[in-house]
Amino acid sequence: MSETARPTPARPGPPRALWILVGLAAAVVAIAGLKAAAGILAPTFLALTLVITVHPLQRWLTAHRVPRFVAAGASLVILYVVVLGLMGSLSWAIAQLAIQIPRYQEKFETLWDDTLTLLEQFGADEAWLRGLAASFDPASLIGAARTLVDRIAGATSLLVLLLTLLFFLVLDAMDLPRRMEISNRIQPALVRAMELFAAGVRRYWLVSAVFGLIVAIFDVVGLWFLQVPLALVWGLVSFITNFIPNIGFVLGLVPPALLALLDGGPGKMVAVIVLYSVLNVVIQVIIQPKFTGDAVGVTPAVSFLSLVIWAFILGPLGALLALPMTLFVKTMLVDGDPRAQWVNAFIASSPEPVMAPPPRIIRRRKVVPGSGSSPADSARSASSGASPADSAGSASSGSSPAGAQDPNPTPAGEPGAADTNE
């Protein structure tokens, strides 16, 4: 009778604190590398998300028997029109702002002096006020506006890189379905997570663009009714800042409110603040979720932290790409790994319960009298991965000559050969 092998006790793994420290160290190294390559990484990821957004059009044209190169060319033209149109509009807006600001320099200086006088009346320290007045020059606003214009003019290399990346990524997208099918055979969970990422990014860009355009139109109409200068400029700024999570509304509100203060006093500034607040609450908080649901996929806290982190790593462009970058990291580290999907319970906006794998069912064959196998042998064969029939065959081969046959074989389909669940 053979001896039962005793299981070898598992060696204790490294402590969890060590794994946490190693993970934090790896994150610091990764962040440093991403920050060093921000000039290449940011436009590359922007181009990737834009191609993902228009890829359904390219796929639809190909499905309707349009040549693949023609479909790719149509997608590329749309992307070029969008990118060049936004860059041209932004350059025009900043140029208009640089022209208008000098007209309000005298009013701003008067307002600044009145503010310092008011602070002094409320008991502010006189030395601190003198230092504040000396440290700020109202004329510096003109220099800041001109600096913005120079930066837009100097963004030519970034624009050329972005357009070139769009060209090659659209060409690669022609063969994307076949590549995804090949990858699905090897890593189905990761491919499914990438498909969800593409759908989420596409929904995020489209929802932000559509409702941002609606808000911008209403802002322009309201500012024109209030006779605030540069209404079209502020509408464009409102549209662009709509892509910045959490604080985009504030960034789009401050410039027109400040200009309204200089042009018409505190009353006009309050009217602009009320207008922007009402439009933002009604359209983006009440109406938008009813039509689109949650287009972000993460909690508000994660959304704000992603804005801070990616703006620190990638610069101003990281503020626009904060949520898509977070969704990509979530896809690669959490959604694509079944063992890490429990993290979604803490960061996803609508977490779904992670289903545990079904329990393993050990199938045991009934013992047939005279077969030479016992229930213990069947249990050992089930735990070792061998079938009960193999155990019975090995037992019979050990007690009979080679080549001998069972004198009373059990026909297939009779109760003696039936499987039951434990």
Q: How confident is the model at residue 365 (pLDDT cuts 50, 70, 90)?
A: low
Tell me the average pLDDT across 46-61: 92
Looking at per-residue pLDDT, the higher value among 163 and 375 belongs to 163
pLDDT of 289 > 70? The answer is no
Q: Which residue, 88, 61, 83, is CA-closest to 73? A: 61
Looking at per-residue pLDDT, the higher value among 372 and 99 belongs to 99
Tell me the average pLDDT across 148-177: 82
Q: How confident is the model at residue 70 (pLDDT cuts 50, 70, 90)?
A: very high
pLDDT of 419 > 50? The answer is no
Q: Which residue, 249, 246, 252, 250, is CA-closest to 323? A: 246
Q: How confident is the model at residue 386 (pLDDT cuts 50, 70, 90)?
A: very low
Residue 341: the pLDDT is: 78
Residue 271 dihedral angles phi and psi, to the nearest 5°: -65, -40
Q: Which residue, 380, 391, 362, 365, is CA-closest to 4? A: 380
Residue 362: the pLDDT is: 47
Q: Rounded to whole angstroms, how far apart are CA atoms 392 and 42?
A: 65
- Range with top average pLDDT, 50-54, 126-130, 255-259, 265-269: 50-54
Q: Where are the domains of the chain?
A: 25-124+138-179
Q: Rounded to whole angstroms, how far apart are CA atoms 66 and 362?
A: 54
Residue 93: the pLDDT is: 79
Q: Is the dihedral of CA 81, 84, 87, 90 positive or negative?
A: negative
Q: How confident is the model at residue 400 (pLDDT cuts 50, 70, 90)?
A: very low
Residue 5: the pLDDT is: 58
Tell me the average pLDDT across 252-276: 87
pLDDT of 170 > 50? The answer is yes
- The residue assigned the tokens 């700020």 is 136
Residue 398: the pLDDT is: 43
The amino acid that residue 375 corresponds to is P
Q: Rounded to whole angstroms, how far apart are CA atoms 325 and 307?
A: 10
pLDDT of 44 > 50? The answer is yes
Taking only the tens place, the pLDDT of each residue in 123-158 is: 666 667 666 666 666 556 556 656 665 666 557 788
Q: Rounded to whole angstroms, how far apart are CA atoms 340 and 54?
A: 31
Q: Rounded to whole angstroms, how far apart are CA atoms 97 and 90?
A: 11
pLDDT of 163 > 90? The answer is yes
Q: Is the dihedral of CA 242, 247, 249, 255 positive or negative?
A: negative
Tell me the average pLDDT across 210-225: 90
Between β-strands 363-365 and 419-421, what pairing exists: parallel, antiparallel or unpaired? antiparallel
- The residue assigned the tokens 């350059």 is 91
CB contact at 8 A, 337 and 312? no
Residue 165: the pLDDT is: 94
Residue 267: the pLDDT is: 87
Residue 119: the pLDDT is: 73
Residue 76: the pLDDT is: 94
Tell me the average pLDDT across 321-328: 90
User: Quick one: CA torsion of 296, 297, 302, 303, rounded to 10 degrees?
Assistant: 0
Residue 95: the pLDDT is: 76
Q: Rounded to whole angstroms, how far apart are CA atoms 231 and 218?
A: 11
**Which of these ranges, 273-277, 330-334, 381-385, has the smallest mean pLDDT?**
381-385
Taking only the tens place, the pLDDT of each residue in 80-138 is: 999 998 888 887 877 777 777 777 777 777 777 777 777 777 766 666 766 666 666 65
- Range with top average pLDDT, 11-25, 276-290, 299-313, 380-394: 299-313
Residue 399: the pLDDT is: 41
Share of the chain above pLDDT 70, in %: 70
pLDDT of 391 > 70? The answer is no
Q: Which residues pair with 348 in a beta bridge?
A: 298
Tell me the average pLDDT across 321-341: 86
Q: How large is the angle between the packed helices 38-63 and 300-314, nearest 10 degrees?
A: 120
Residue 370: the pLDDT is: 52
Token pair in block for residue 176: 């994307």
pLDDT of 193 > 80? The answer is yes
Average pLDDT, rounded, for the chain: 76
Residue 48: the pLDDT is: 93
